[in-house]
């Protein structure tokens, strides 16, 4: 214990400052510490630590650092931040999940999406907010981490609903628009051994990855992956017998309204044999900002506002479905992500209704 070396005196609060400013438990302290905790969740997910704790219950952080070639002080900093947030308990080098751990582990993909994928955009929000700076590549996001986070929460909260829907109405030849790494294609082909598939993505890296994963899964003879932009999609010979199309968590990128109408019209023309379309997306909540928002809602709407993207409301989706001749056959409300649906749509065969 260190003894004081001089006379100790109390310092009065500075004039004009509220009592307890910045003290433990104050709003400023909670905001500051919670921001570190959120980034620590994203870091622990990237390092595989959260999955290791979920599997083993307790992890020795020094042994984990050595096994995975990690910087021990950095790993200690991450686990200490998680402990401060109440996600884990630390005793020596033993890290154990708390009663809140399962909640955070299940939703870790949202942290990776926001803080891993959009962290640079959040960091530069002040600069992005100045009109003079909104030119060129002023929006910086990490597409890989966005894909990883989306795949994580998609597999947990969306895919079980989609799989059940697909089991009730199995496809013969399906298309995944915005297929990313190809995970959904692989899952669908395994569940439906008589189906074939096409993946479409605008990103060359995603196309290459999806092709490689299909080869690794032994499914390359039943699927192809095409580099194309859904905003300008046109009919191709390989689209002639497609009977099912799906698109997940990118529908808001179809907007603004005039472009969305064009995309939905083009889909009906590009796939003349199409009989159903599963569109899954998160819509604008209309919620007044407050302290009772669920996970994702604030971050999702905040990030897209910074990007200058006006998210559609649920009513706006219904309006464009009516305008473009898509009938809502079924709709599935998702628990997570909040304010999200899977619309199971069928085309009006009467032609373009506009």
Whether residues 211 and 341 share a domain: the answer is: yes
Whether residues 215 and 328 share a domain: the answer is: yes
Whether residues 219 and 70 share a domain: the answer is: no
Residues forming beta bridges with residue 333, ordered by sequence position: 341
Distance CA 179, CA 181 (A): 6
Q: What is residue 230's predicted lDDT score, i.e. its pLDDT?
A: 93
Determine, yes or no, domain membership for 135: no
Could you tell me which residues come within 8 angstroms of residue 184 by beta carbon, excluding any fewer than 6 positions away?
A: 159, 162, 176, 246, 248
In total, the chain counts a number of residues equal to: 354
Determine, yes or no, domain membership for 132: no
Among candidate residues 284, 260, 269, 287, the one with its CA nearest the CA of residue 347: 269
* Residue 197: cis peptide before it, omega within 30 degrees of 0: no
Q: What is residue 123's predicted lDDT score, i.e. its pLDDT?
A: 96
Q: What is residue 10's predicted lDDT score, i.e. its pLDDT?
A: 72
- CA 295 → CA 157, 218, 244, 335, distances in Å? 13, 37, 31, 11
Determine, yes or no, domain membership for 100: yes
Q: Is 269 helix (H, G, I), strand (E, B) or coil?
A: helix
Look up the CATH number of the domain holding residue 287. Answer: 3.40.50.150
Q: Which residue in this structure is represented by tokens 């179809």?
A: 254
Q: Which residue in this structure is represented by tokens 């309006």?
A: 319
Q: What's the pTM value of the predicted model, to 2 decimals?
A: 0.91
Q: What is residue 349's predicted lDDT score, i.e. its pLDDT?
A: 62
- φ and ψ of 165, to 5 deg: -65, -40
Among candidate residues 273, 269, 254, the one with its CA nearest the CA of residue 317: 254
Whether residues 42 and 166 share a domain: the answer is: no
As a 3-state breakdown, the chain gives helix, strand, coil percent values, each rounded to 5, of 50, 15, 35
Look up the CATH number of the domain holding residue 69. Answer: 1.10.10.10
Determine, yes or no, domain membership for 208: yes
Q: Count of domains in the chain?
A: 2
Whether residues 82 and 212 share a domain: the answer is: no
Whether residues 101 and 194 share a domain: the answer is: no
Whether residues 332 and 239 share a domain: the answer is: yes
74 is in which domain, residue-wise? Answer: 32-106
- The low-confidence residues of the chain, meaning pLDDT below 50, are 351-354
């Amino acid at each position: 214990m260190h003894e004081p070396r001089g006379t100790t005196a109390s310092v009065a609060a500075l004039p004009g400052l509220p009592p307890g400013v910045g003290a433990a438990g104050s709003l400023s302290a909670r905001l500051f510490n919670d921001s570190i905790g959120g980034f620590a969740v994203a870091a622990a997910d990237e390092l595989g630590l959260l999955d290791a704790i979920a599997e083993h219950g307790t992890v020795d952080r020094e042994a984990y650092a050595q096994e995975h070639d990690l910087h021990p002080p950095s790993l200690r900093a991450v686990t200490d931040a998680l402990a401060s947030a109440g996600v884990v308990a630390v005793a020596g080098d033993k890290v154990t999940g708390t009663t809140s751990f399962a909640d955070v582990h299940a939703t870790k993909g949202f942290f990776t999406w926001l803080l891993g994928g959009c962290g640079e955009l959040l960091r530069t929000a002040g600069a992005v907010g100045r009109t003079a700076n909104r030119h060129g590549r002023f929006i910086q996001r990490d597409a890989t981490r966005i894909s990883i986070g989306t795949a994580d929460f998609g597999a947990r909260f969306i895919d079980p609903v989609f799989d059940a829907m697909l089991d009730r109405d199995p496809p013969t030849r399906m298309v995944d628009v915005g297929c990313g790494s190809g995970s959904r294609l692989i899952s669908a082909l395994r569940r439906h051994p008589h189906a074939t598939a096409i993946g479409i993505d605008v990103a060359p890296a995603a196309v290459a990855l999806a092709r490689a994963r299909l080869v690794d899964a032994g499914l390359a003879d039943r699927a192809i992956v095409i580099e194309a932009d859904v905003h300008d999609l046109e009919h191709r010979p390989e689209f002639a017998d497609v009977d099912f199309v799906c698109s997940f968590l990118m529908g808001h990128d179809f907007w603004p309204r005039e472009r969305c109408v064009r995309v939905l019209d083009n889909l009906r023309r590009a796939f003349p044999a199409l009989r159903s379309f599963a569109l899954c997306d998160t819509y604008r909540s209309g919620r007044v900002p407050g302290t009772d928002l669920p996970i994702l809602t604030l971050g999702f709407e905040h990030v897209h506002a910074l990007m200058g993207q006006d998210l559609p409301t649920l009513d706006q989706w219904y309006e464009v479905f009516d305008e473009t001749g898509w009938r809502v056959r079924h709709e599935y409300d998702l628990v997570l992500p909040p304010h999200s649906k899977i619309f199971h749509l069928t085309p009006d065969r009467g032609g373009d209704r506009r």
